[in-house]
Chain A
Amino acid sequence: MPLMRSAGAACLVCVCACGLFTPRDVEEPTWPVEDPLGFAQILSNSESTERFTLLDYEDLFHEGLEYVDPAGHSFDKRQVRGRLNTITSKYPDIQVKWEVAELDAQEQQTLDRSGPVTLNTRKYRIWRGSPTVTVVDTATGLADTAYELDYRGEASLKLLYSTGKEAWTIYYWRDAPTGGLQTSFFHPDFSQ
């Protein structure tokens, strides 16, 4: 027993001393916390008083995230994060806008933290580059400008409050493109 204890203690000391559990030196930040794809607007552009407090996409998306396309195929967090990384790398100046799809839909102000919460449908628009054409709706007088890169869609989202992180996370995302696309711009298999 004394031999075992000594051997165990020695191993523990040696392993810890190797720096395996010590973080690497970090660089001083030059950029603030970013949300290039505007996911914070999902809650901020609605009547809800809740907010996403962790906007790093590694924390924003729940580990058990399920992304579902219109055909019913599902993808996990790793696949979705891979697509989001591709988007932000290829289009650093991309802009995204999220808003509630049905203007008269009543949105809950506070959300129940005991289980998944289904939000009203959100519509989104992704664009970048120079405007290509502006169309004016003669009935309403509203103008709509199209851009070099311009995609739209609708998302059904479920949120889950993570008690470990004390923050809301996106737990389920059913995505459907609008316009002339088969797959959404956020779809892990999207290709132009």
Chain B
Amino acid sequence: MNRILSTIAAGITCCGCALGDVLWPAEFSVPAGPEPIDSTISTLTTSFGDIMIKGKQNPLHPDSVRVDLTTFGTKNLLTLRKNTPRRFVSQSAGYDFLLDNNVGLQNHYIDFSGMAVQKSFPFRFTRVGLEWIPLLNINAERTRSNGRGMLHVGPVADIFLGDFPLRLRGGGVADIWHDSLPRHLEHYSMSHLQERKQDLGAYGGIGLSDFYRPIVPNVPLYGQGSAYIRELDSANVAATSLCGLYLNEVPTGDSLFLYVADSLLMGKSAMLSGRAGGPMQYSTTPHRVQHRMNAGVGLKGVPRFYCVPALSYSYNVYSVAYPSLIGDERRSNHQIKFLLATDSSCMVRYSGGIGFSFEKDDWVYQSSVPIQRSSGQNDNIDTLIENLKDNKGVQVEMVHGISTYTSSGLGGGYSFRISSDRKTYPNFYVSNGDTNRLYDDRDRINQGHMLTATIFSTPPCSIKCSGEYIKNLTSYVRSQKSANNLTERIYRFTVAMIVIPLEKLTFLETIGADAKVTAYQFPSFHTSSPPPYARKFFSRFGGVWFLRDAWQVNWLWEEVYLDNGYWEGAQYRDSSLGYITTDYYAIANKSLDSKIEISTDFMIKTNVRVKAGSLFRDIYYRVYKNRAYTVESFNEGYSMTPFVEVRGRMSQYSSVMARVKRYMDTIADDYWDIALMLSVGF
């Protein structure tokens, strides 16, 4: 189904098919291996994205148009690579540029990393070479610029113990920065280079395995480890990481997964920092010790009694400690998940699961914190305040889905999802007789029901219906915040009819309605701000016509009515307005959004695809002001957006994508929206 039809039919979803898959941990899968390095292929990739050029007409001089480049981004990477039986050489040249005139920001990033390795030297199972990693980052804001460069240079050595690779690396590192550069490149001079600040040091590292192949042949055990240390006067750092994955089939036929990962980081990061209107400074993060550990076990069963079960448990812990500051934190989490699905032989398909997560967030975990504030010079107020942020959380999520369809396409399904997120802040301290604590203890409970049915399915026509009810509850426990408690209810209903009168012609009409209702648990605290209320009614009529095998025409006509405002119920009303006795929906604004999109899509030869079309749009927007609905321009009038997009594959190693849109409006500024991506291998 093409893009337009898929957009129309987005509200009609199949339920009960793979709901349980969303709960299965992502760690229990071996990542795809690295792309093989061709011996002679190098690549150039260039992309220009998010280009926004706005043309603005000067009302005093209508013949003149000022063009402003609002946003622009480009990423470019040229990689030259030569891989022979004796040598491997790689040199990259990367340049990323980001311009955002909305916030007055320019950013340049340059990377000239490379490596040269002599294979089978000095032994058959070793390789020796050199690596270099020069990086440069220049940040320009409205009134000042700063730059920072870092260079790693040093030897590398690989030792292959069978298929198990071991890499050693080390060398010198230089950190150079300048905190007061000119805004424009043409004003740079040698004096700026002489005024630079710098820091010199050394680094070393070791890497074990690569996680894409078993550590031991014929044993399904994958692992990877690394260690890195850098000695810089201002930014010493040491880091280690280790991870392993075991997956195997047990004698019963079920699949067993075991995963563990651990990482440790000690030291500082260095960066430029500054303040608006003042000079920039080179500063570092505080010295910290950061540790992460993840471990998990999973079991996926073979089909039994028409069911496929799965079970998983994982434990995660993260801690960061600052030896010279208050701010150490430790977060731990236990997760248990149980999934169940019917196998493919069942006429009635079911899938579902339930997951539990128990979290604990412990601030200032390295010391025992009292509950009484000290006095005088030993005031411990900062420690007590940080300790208030301790919290415990329990999340439970349950999903169920069931569906059945006949061979003729009739049938339906039902899905149910409910989740609970509970947080508790147990800590407090006493100061001058007052008890101080956070009041963010809260429960968030979300539930959703969706029912879909195909009520008619006889060629060339089929009709599908769907209804959805969502209820979201936010409930703060303590009196200081319980005034924020609210319940949101969302109602959705959609009917879609698909008609295929000819093999190459399809029509799709969808109509639907949405409503969102909010209610506060304690209305008396919202007399001046009643709860929001919103409604939407829409109709979408579209289709596709395949003129030829490689040429199609698409169209879409969409009308969307949207209003939102507030529910003026009696419980939210100021009692002085006694003359108003009925509840009503106070519509604050309403709009009718009309859209027509026509496009054609065709192939030129077999490797160039062209899409061209135009979008026509009008928004009729009214706002309630001074007891009447007045038309607001919304800063837009009638608009037309023609576009052309070309995608081509020139050869096995080159492809290009170009897209040009022109936004034309009777009121707002016109602008160009351009995107270009080029990828070349040679």
Of the candidates A26, A71, A156, which one forms a contact with B272 in the assembled complex, judged by CB atoms under 8 Å apart?
A71
Q: Which of B3-11, B87-95, B115-123, B482-490 sits within the interface?
A: B482-490
* A136 on the B face (CB < 8 A): no
Cross-chain contact B480 with A31 (CB below 8 angstroms): yes
Q: Mark B398-427, 1 if CB is under 8 A from A, else 0.
A: 101000000000000000001010100000
Within 8 A of A (CB), among B403-454: 418, 420, 422, 436, 438, 440, 442-443, 445, 447
Residues of B contacting A153 with CB < 8 Å? 275-276
Task: Count contacts on B: residues with CB < 8 A to the other chain.
Answer: 78
Within 8 A of B (CB), among A173-192: 174, 176-183, 189, 191
Count class of interface residues, chain A: 35 or more
B153 CB, min distance to chain A CBs, angstroms: 25
Contact of A8 with B400 at beta-carbon distance under 8 Å, contacts A26-B477, A86-B389 already known: yes
* A138 on the B face (CB < 8 A): no
Cross-chain contact A31 with B481 (CB below 8 angstroms): yes
A88 CB, min distance to chain B CBs, angstroms: 9
Residues of A contacting B386 with CB < 8 Å? 86
Q: Roughly how many angstroms separate A32 CA and B532 CA in the complex, as a whole number?
A: 18
Cross-chain contact B276 with A178 (CB below 8 angstroms): yes
* A12 on the B face (CB < 8 A): yes
Of the candidates A4, A31, A178, which one forms a contact with B307 in the assembled complex, judged by CB atoms under 8 Å apart?
A4
Residues of B contacting A3 with CB < 8 Å? 305
Residues of A contacting B305 with CB < 8 Å? 3-4
Residues of B contacting A179 with CB < 8 Å? 275, 278
Residues of B contacting A158 with CB < 8 Å? 102
Within 8 A of A (CB), among B616-664: 623, 632, 634-635
* B521 on the A face (CB < 8 A): yes
Cross-chain contact A27 with B479 (CB below 8 angstroms): yes
Q: Which of A16-24, A125-133, A139-147 sits within the interface?
A: A16-24
Cross-chain contact A26 with B475 (CB below 8 angstroms): yes
* A89 on the B face (CB < 8 A): yes
Residues of B contacting A15 with CB < 8 Å? 354, 398
Q: Mark A155-173, 1 if CB is under 8 A from B, else 0.
A: 0101000000111000000
Q: Roughly how many angstroms separate A4 CA and B438 CA in the complex, as a whole number?
A: 46
Of the candidates A27, A53, A56, which one forms a contact with B529 in the assembled complex, judged by CB atoms under 8 Å apart?
A53
Of the candidates B107, B307, B385, B534, which one forms a contact with A89 in the assembled complex, judged by CB atoms under 8 Å apart?
B385
Cross-chain contact A28 with B306 (CB below 8 angstroms): no
Q: Roughly how many angstroms separate A151 CA and B534 CA in the complex, as a whole number?
A: 40
Of the candidates B381, B447, B484, B564, which one forms a contact with A56 in the assembled complex, judged by CB atoms under 8 Å apart?
B484
Residues of A contacting B634 with CB < 8 Å? 110, 112
Residues of A contacting B534 with CB < 8 Å? 166
Cross-chain contact A29 with B479 (CB below 8 angstroms): yes
Contact of A110 with B271 at beta-carbon distance under 8 Å, contacts A8-B350, A23-B445 already known: no
* B273 on the A face (CB < 8 A): yes
> Smallest CB-CB separation from B473: which chain A residue?
A23
Within 8 A of B (CB), among A95-153: 108, 110, 112, 118, 153
Residues of A contacting B518 with CB < 8 Å? 166
Cross-chain contact B350 with A32 (CB below 8 angstroms): no
Q: Roughly how many angstroms separate A1 CA and B350 CA in the complex, as a whole number?
A: 11
Q: Mark B275-303, 1 if CB is under 8 A from A, else 0.
A: 11110110101100000000000000000
Within 8 A of A (CB), among B364-389: 381-382, 385-386, 388-389
Cross-chain contact B484 with A33 (CB below 8 angstroms): yes
B650 CB, min distance to chain A CBs, angstroms: 34
B109 CB, min distance to chain A CBs, angstroms: 10
* B460 on the A face (CB < 8 A): no
* B183 on the A face (CB < 8 A): no
Cross-chain contact B103 with A118 (CB below 8 angstroms): yes
Of the candidates A26, A82, A112, A183, which one forms a contact with B482 in the assembled complex, judged by CB atoms under 8 Å apart?
A26
* A66 on the B face (CB < 8 A): no
Residues of A contacting B103 with CB < 8 Å? 118, 156, 174
Q: Roughly how many angstroms separate A67 CA and B447 CA in the complex, as a whole number?
A: 31
* A30 on the B face (CB < 8 A): yes
Q: Roughly how many angstroms separate A103 CA and B564 CA in the complex, as a whole number?
A: 32
Cross-chain contact A82 with B389 (CB below 8 angstroms): yes
Of the candidates A25, A70, A108, A167, which one forms a contact with B275 in the assembled complex, judged by CB atoms under 8 Å apart?
A70
Q: Roughly how many angstroms separate A133 CA and B110 CA in the complex, as a whole number?
A: 48
A144 CB, min distance to chain B CBs, angstroms: 16
Query: What are 8 sample pairs from A and B whose C-beta atoms fall under 8 A apart?
Result: A25-B477, A26-B485, A29-B480, A70-B274, A110-B634, A177-B275, A178-B278, A191-B325
Q: Which 7 A-B pairs have the closest CB atoms?
A: A29-B483, A27-B479, A118-B102, A176-B276, A23-B475, A23-B443, A71-B273
Interface residues of B (CB under 8 A from A): 102-105, 107, 139, 141, 271-278, 280-281, 283, 285-286, 305-307, 325, 327, 340, 342, 346, 348, 350, 352, 354, 381-382, 385-386, 388-389, 396, 398, 400, 418, 420, 422, 436, 438, 440, 442-443, 445, 447, 473, 475-485, 488, 516, 518, 521-522, 525-526, 529, 532, 534, 564, 623, 632, 634-635
